[in-house]
Each structure stands twice: as C-alpha cells, then as structure tokens.
Amino acid sequence: MTIVKVVDGDAGGYRCEVTSKDKCDSCTFDISVEAAEETQQTNILEAFKRSGDAGEDAGELDFSGLLKKRERKQKEEPEIDVDVWEILKNAKPCDYEKIAFQYGITDLRGMLKRLKKMRKVEPKKSDGFKSNPNEQFSFLKKLDPAYSVEKGKKIQLNVELSDPNAQVRWLRNGQEIKPSAKYIFESVGGIRKLTINKCTLADDAAYECVVGEEKSFTEVFIQEPPVTITKMLDDIHVVVGEKVEFEVEVSDEGANVKWMKDGVELSRDGKYRFKKDGTKHWLIINEATTEDIGTYYVYTSGGESKAELEVEEKELQVLQSIADLTLKAAEQAVFKCEVSDEKVTGKWFKDGVEVTPSNRIKMTHMGRTHKLVIDDVKPEDAGDYTFVPDGYALSLSAKLNFLGKRENQLIMYPLRFDVDITGEPPPTVCWKKGDMELSEAEGRVRVETRKNLSCFIIEGAERSDEGLYHITVTNPAGEDKADVMVKIVDVPDPPENVKCTGVGEDSASIQWDPPKFDGGVPVKGYLMERKKKGSSRWTRLNFDIYESTTYDAKKMIEGVLYEMRVFAVNGIGMSQPSASSKPFMPIAPTSEPTRLTVEDVTDGTCALKWLPPERIGAGGIDGYIIEYCVEGASEWVQANETPVEKNSYRVRGLPVGEKMLFRVRAVNIAGRSPPAVMAQAVTIREIVERPKIRLPRQLRTKYIKRVGEKVNLVIPFQGKPRPVVTWLKDGAPLDTKLVNVRTSDVDTILFIRQAAKEHSGQYTLSVQIENMEDKVTLEIQIVDKPGPPIAVTVTDVWGFNAALEWKPPKDNGNCEITGYTIQKADLKTKEWFTVLEHNRRPSCTVSDLVMGNEYTFRVFSENICGMSDDAGISKNTAVIAKTGTYILQPYKEKDMCSSPKFITPLIDRSVIAGYSAAISCAVRGHPKPKIIWMKNKMIIGEDPKYLMQNNQGVLTLNIRKPSLFDGGKYTCKAINDLGEDEVECKLVVRGMAKNLNHHQCVTLTMT
C-alpha cells in the first residue's frame, strides 16, 4: 500500500485483511503524520509572500487565497442523551412500569429479560489495559440499545468518540474480545467499529464498549431463520423383515429435527436409528414388523411432514409363471417358473396326479427357479401341468398341447384320362378346353394316342387346370363327342380382414372374413393364434376347429398390446396364416361413477355432481355421458353430445314440474361403464331461497363523505327467485334524479356523482320475495367545511391579556365542530399571527400582548374537513394600556342556579341474562338535584339487586346478574326547587345461547 502526498487526514488506524475460501485473517496498524522539516516549510511559504505591488505589505505572507466561504451555523443545544437502561438498573422493581411508560417501552417482558442479562454482565478489568484516571473520554455516539442479525450474516457495531486517539475495549458478556478473523476491530478517526463475521447462535449476547470510565451497552440478537422441509416424506409399503428408511430434506444443514410416531416422540434405541448427512435426515428401521404400522411425523422449527408405513406379512411372489406349450412329436417340453424365495420347494402335477421323475422326465430346483423337462414329447404327454409350492396356498398351471404332424404341401399326382376309341377306319381324336385345342404330345398338359385308346395327361395339377374338357372322334363314317369335368381341390386361402371389434378387462372379440377361395372343398372351420406385440412366439388359442368367423379370446393381460392371426381349415388341410391384425389392448370399461347427487335445481335446469369410479383400469377415463328421462318412461335422452371431463354438469332444457331421473356413465376406449343412477326422482322446480342482504362491514357504521366526492356503494344480496329491491330515504321513496340506483341479480349499487349535504340521511334497502323480506338501514353523512364563528367579542382586557368569546357557526358543515383557531393582529401592522390552535371551547384567553398596542382578533372554526374558509372577526378591539394604577372592578356574583337538565340521555340496551349490566346518563343542575330511578314507572328504592351511583353528575344504575324479568323501561328523574327532568331507556334481557363458550360481560358508561 502506497500513500502519495501524505496529509494530516491520512493519520489513523488501518487493517490488512486476507481471505481464502472459508478462512479469513487480518492485522491492524496505525499511521501517524508528523510535521515537515523547517527548510521545506520555508520553501513552501515563499509561494505565499506578497509581491512588490503591495506597497508597504510587500514580502509579508498572505493566506487569504486559501480561505473558503463558509455559512455560519447556529450552535444547536446538545440534546440530553438519556440511557433508560441505566435508569432501570438503578430503579426499584415497583417503578419499572412507570419508567417504561415514560420512555415508550411497550414490551415489558422483553425489557425484564434484557435487564436480567445486563445485571448478570459485570465488566471485568483487563490486566493488559489500564486507563489513566485523569483522562476524560466521552461518547459522541453510543451503541444502539439492541441489534438484530440473521444467522450466518455479519454485523457491525459503531461508536463515535470525542477523542480520536482514545483506545477502546470491546466486551462480550463481560469477557474482553480479542481481534481475530471473526472479530475485526476498526478505527477511523473518532469512529470505532466492531465487525462480527458469520454470526452464530453463540454470538447472541450482551456487548459493551469501554473507553476510560465511560461505557456503552447493547444486546445482539441472532435470528435463526425457520427451518423448512424442502423434500417431504414418502409413504412406504414393505413386508415383514425388510428395512425401512424414511428420508427428509431440510433447508439448513445444522438443523435439528424431531421424529414422532402416532404422537409419541421416537428416541434412539435398538429399533430406531437416526442418520444425518448435510441437509438430509433419515429414520431407519432395520427389520420392520406389523407393530411398526402407523403414521410417522418429522418436525422442524418451520414445517412438518408425515408419511404412512404399511407392513404386510411376507408373501411368496411369482417372478415368472409357467406358460402354455404347443409341441410336435419328439420335441422337448420345458416348464419353467421363478418365485421370490430361494428356499421354497414344490411339487409338479399332471392332470392332478403328481409327476414322478424318469429318464425322460426330469425336475430341477436351482435357486428361485423350478423346471420340469420332458424329452421326446409323445401324445400321451398332453394335459394340464401344475406347480404347487410347499407351504403356500398357491399354484401355477399351464397346458401342454400336442400337435400331430401335418403336410404343409399336397402331393401332386398326375391326372390321366384313358378313353377307349372304336371305329373303322381308326378315328381322329381331338381334345379341347373351351375353344382351345389341346394337341401337344409333350409338356405338363399333353395328349397321348394309342391303338383304340386316347390318353389325356396333366402333370402336377394346378388350380387353372380346373374346367370342362371336350373329346371329339371323327372318321369318314361319322363322329362322336364326350365331355369330361375336371375339378382341382387344394387347401383354402388365408382368411381376410382379421380385426378386433371389442375389448374387455382380460378378453378381446376378434372378427374376420372367410377366405376368397376355399380350395374347392368347403371350409370346416378356423384355428386362431395370438402373440404379444414385439414377440415372435405365437400361441395357439384353440385345437378344435372353430366354425364361426368371430371369436372371444380370453386370459389376456390388461394394458398389453396383442396381435391375432387366423388359419382356415378344409378337408384338404390348413391354409397359410392370415395377415396379423392391428395391435389391440385389452381394456375394461371403468366401474360406474360414485356418489351421484343433485347440487342445485332451478327453473328448467339441474346441476349434478359425482365422484370418479372406484375402478378405472389402464384405459383411464375420457369423460362422462349424462342421460335423463321422465320418471316412469323407458327412453333415456343423452344430455351432452361429447363426454365432459369434469365431475359436474348442469343439464338444461328440462320440463318444469316433471320428475326426472338422471344417470351418468364413464367413457373410455373400452366403451361405456355401467350407469350410476339417481336413487330418487328430482322434481324440476325453482327452489325458493330466503332473501338476505350481505351488508359490507364499512357500511355498518355511519358512512361519511365530503361534499363533491363520489359515492358508490355496492351491496350484495342473495335470494331465489330474483328479489324485488326497494330503496327509501328517510322513509320516503328515493328521488332517482338525485341518486342513481342500479340493480343486478346479485347486488344493488347506490351511486351519487357529486355528493351534496341534502344527500345526507338514512337510506333503507329492502329485498323481498313473496312474503319474505330483509331490510338494512345505512346512514350517509355528507360533510363540508364549517362556516365562520359568529359574535366574536373581546369580553375583558387586563394586564397583557385579553379574553375572547364567540358563538359556534350557523353552518357546522353537517358534522361536529372539533375546535377553533384564534389569530391576532396589531392594528399598526395588520399582520395576522396564530396564537391558539384546536381550541375546543368557544372562548379563550390571549396572553403576552404588547403594552401600548391595540389588537383585533379573528377565529376560524374546524371540523373533520378542515378549517373554515372565512373567519369571524371580533367586533371590538383590545387596547393594552400602559402600566398605571389598576382599579379593581367590584366583583359581581353570578347566579349559578338552574333547573335539572340531562346532558347525556339513557341508551337502549340489550344484555344477556346472568351477566351484570349498567345503564348511565349525566345531569346538571343547581342546587344538586335529587335522583330517582324507576322501572316501568315504579320507584326502585333500596333493592339490593340495584346499585345506584352519582359521580359528579354522572348517574349509573348497576343491575347485578339480570334475569329475563328485569327487562323493561327504566327511568331516571332529577328534581330540585327550580324544576325536574327525566330520561328513559329500554332494557332487553336475552337468554344465554346454548353454544356460548366464553363468558361475556357488557358494561356501557356514558359521560
């Protein structure tokens, strides 16, 4: 570090810090700046000497060019810094609440907790630091009362000293702190800093800074962020004896978690083990038993998670079942199965009879695999084979089909016709097929002629050789003819158009077309084969000839793709296989939907809702079909053209007044499910719903707006059919020219574009359906600035004081006057100055007036809208005479006598039976009036149930635990020699609600 052109401001403490990944180290040092040498100073001063033009002052130093213009600041009086904690430490415990109230401390519990810690922390003197008792240091800025920082962050504590060279000590819970990578000390001028890096919970303590005899205390709170769960627990399903691991991941590596099972906390023992790796936590159960079944919980400071553990008895699982075999003579049959337990043994059975091993039949057991091998398969080996594991109610079965040897190709024998011929001379022979003459002597089709014999030969008959053949013999004596019909027979062609027409849960319906050519022999039937898509192994489905062209294949696996092919069979043999069908998947329709209910019925519509089927299967659900019919009819009408995906639907266009039945079917690729039918018919009629107004909370009290503002009140309501909405203002129909009203099916809107005072009043809203009605009353108050006070008068002047009185303004702005502002003006200057603000009474005294001046006064009135625009000006003036002899005016006694008058009336009350209540009012009058309380015009007297109090004119009647018979009209009468006055109220006593869980006591006192 290099400092160029050192100045005095460079002096101070410096710190060099080295960081590497998670580690940090630092060292501190001080730099002091000394004055420059005298020779150098002389050279510098040469630049500030005056030139020769200065006359007599030439050669003298002039530093005026270095001066800067500064604004003079008024010296502020230092505020007295009060340390409330020092006051509390030295105060008595009985004064804590008073001191807390005086200094604005609201958290008394936190205050006592911190005070307890501060009393425990007694600063210890360090041997290495001894302050000079003669030195006086002070804090310009102390530590804040408390600091708060999140865990893992850093915090900096700052103080400012009056002496920049003073040394400080930092203490933590009374122990001195040494500089380190965690605690870093900094000194910049008079500022001292303590930086705490990577705060932990151990850093939550009381800290103090000590300089000389002065101390500054603070408390550091470490906020530990709540630990949340980032990866929830998963449900686990195991069998007895297996290992169980519940895994959860939290947001903080150092977090602690709590494991519980069915509300009981788990502890580390031989059964349960806890494992932790970073943010991951595990609960491990080595060998699960049925006793471990239950719900497991994990809790952190900011979250929780739960999971279910299901433990089943250990069952033997079939990993590979045995399959059907179709074999020819002399082939090898291998039945193979695999189970989950290597130690399980078993037996093989054929048609219910146990198989015994021989030279040709062998049984093996290797690990989990069991085999039955039959060499040189014979027809008698065909049958049902079963493997039964020992000790388990389980069996695996398969069938061995023996396939006899068949020729795939017919042996083609030559076709030969020998025809005897007679005639003299020997006749000429001519063979024809249609118009084509056959005369070749060689080839596949040829004619051989011998003496008295003609031979027609076809070598290797083909299908095209079939037809009608003609033979003609002629000689000079005449001719003769004969016909021969040749028919060629063969195996049929393969069937065509093999396709799947329907599927079930484990079955499929197959259909095909007969072969175009039956081979010249009627087709006896068909043989079917199937295979899984992607496999090359075909499985024969029938060994007896099947005559129909449709077939239902069974024992298939739902959700697996299959292909089918068909063979045609006639008297000659079996055809080649047909082309494979398109892949298809056995899928069953779902079960019927559940919990079909009616949600809502209106005029012509009915809203239905239901739950998905209990069994859905591999095909899923494409949607639902809703149907309806009139009760007693058999024709169901489909309500929706396309399936709906939601579990609810509103059927529209229903006949009003009819009883309707509804049913719902689930639809998927396999078809429609059985219907879910309503148990009872639903009558389509509009349901009458009682009208009810839902008044917003802000409208339940007086609604206040200023003049000129917009009023827009939206009040929702409910009821069916649509209620009739009526608005009244002060009991009269609403004038729609002044107020706009808009009403919809669910709410009504009261709208005033520009509010005026005449819009104030009580508005009544009623909604009515037939003979049912609901009403609410809301009060709207439109307020404005008040008018000026009237009759402002200077009533008295004495010394340097003047007394003013006035009357309230005629226009109070439609609300209560909250106060007055009084201003004065000297008639010489005519400048107005405010002397009092928010004066509640219509009178005041203005003091500190200047002798010899004459003053006039004006008064502004105030309400919630502000001050009045105009002021009431005093009719007379106040002249402050010069000091002289003051003549005391004779005292005139004022007559204070007055008849009784209630200034606060009794208020109607509604109370709960059994809970004490009070009614109050206020009266004035002189001489002091006599008070009489009456119930239903009967004097109460000295009844111990009632307690009557009179406190400075505030009258209270306490009723102890009123019953239902204490309800009625209560009257308070005040009487003196000048007259009498009375007020009354109605008290309603309600019975206690049955479901009241908390005691309630209502006491209303008005003064």
938 in the same domain as 810: no
Is 672 in the same domain as 601? yes
At residue 436, the 3 state secondary structure works out as strand
* pLDDT for the residue numbered 133: 44
Model pLDDT, residue 62: 63
Q: Are residues 544 and 620 in the same domain?
A: no
Asked whether residue 475 is domain-assigned, the answer is: yes
pLDDT attached to residue 79: 47
Tokens of 743: 């009403």
* Nearest Cα to Cα of residue 499 among 491, 507, 508: 508
pLDDT at 794: 92
Strands 594-602 and 562-570: unpaired
Residue 28: inside a domain, yes or no? Answer: no
Q: Which H helix or E strand runs over 949? A: strand 946-951
Tell me the CA end-to-end span of the chain in Å, nearest whole number.
Answer: 77
Q: Are residues 107 and 208 in the same domain?
A: yes
207 with 107, same domain: the answer is: yes
Look-up of token digits 């389980």: 394
Domain assignment of residue 660, yes or no: yes
- Tell me: do 332 and 370 sit in the same domain: yes
Tell whether the torsion through CA atoms of 694, 696, 699 and 701 is positive or negative.
Answer: positive
* Residue that is last in its domain, among 223, 241, 256: 223
Cβ-proximal residues to 365 (8 Å cutoff; 6+ apart), any chain: 345, 346, 371
Structure confidence at residue 899 (pLDDT): 93
DSSP of 264-281, one letter per residue? Answer: EE---SSSEEEEEETTEE
Q: What is the CATH number of the domain that holds 458?
A: 2.60.40.10
Is the CB of residue 748 less than 8 Å from the CB of residue 725?
Answer: yes
Q: What is residue 64's predicted lDDT score, i.e. its pLDDT?
A: 63
How many structural domains compose the chain? 9
How far is residue 783's CA from residue 704's CA, in Å, rounded to a whole number?
Answer: 7
Q: 172 with 216, same domain?
A: yes
Let me know whether 627 and 715 are in one domain: no
Residue 21 falls inside a structural domain? no
Last residue of a domain, one of 370, 403, 436: 403
Residues 739-766 pLDDT 10s:
899 999 889 999 998 898 888 999 999 9
Q: Given this model, what pLDDT does residue 125 score? A: 40
Looking at the whole model, is its pTM more than 0.75? no
- Domain of 250 in residue numbering reads as 229-312
The secondary structure of 907-918, three-state, reads CCEEEECCCCEE
Characterize the bridge pairing of strands 175-176 and 909-912: unpaired
Quote the pLDDT of residue 463.
Answer: 73
SS3 sequence, 98-152?
HHHHHCCCCCHHHHHHHHHHHHHCCCCCCCCCCCCCCCCCCEEECCCCEEEEECC
Sites in the chain below the pLDDT cut of 50: 38-42, 54, 73-79, 122-135, 405-411, 995-1007
> What is the reported pLDDT for 818?
92
Q: Given 369, 403, 437, which residue is the final one in a domain?
A: 403
Q: Extract the runs of DSSP E, i.e. beta strands, from 639-720.
A: 648-651, 659-668, 671-672, 676-677, 682-683, 689-693, 703-706, 711-720
Provide the strand spans (E) within 709-841: 711-720, 724-729, 732-733, 740-743, 747-752, 761-769, 772-783, 790-798, 801-807, 819-826, 832-839
Q: 88 and 219: one domain?
A: yes
Whether residue 48 is contained in a domain is answered as no
Taking only the tens place, the pLDDT of each residue in 845-871 is 999 888 889 999 999 999 998 999 999
Clarify whether residues 302 and 334 are in a common domain: no
Residues 89, 184: one domain?
A: yes
In a domain, 76, yes or no: no
Q: Are residues 88 and 204 in the same domain?
A: yes
- Looking at the domain assignment, is residue 18 inside a domain? no
Asked, for residue 278, whether it belongs to a domain, the answer is: yes
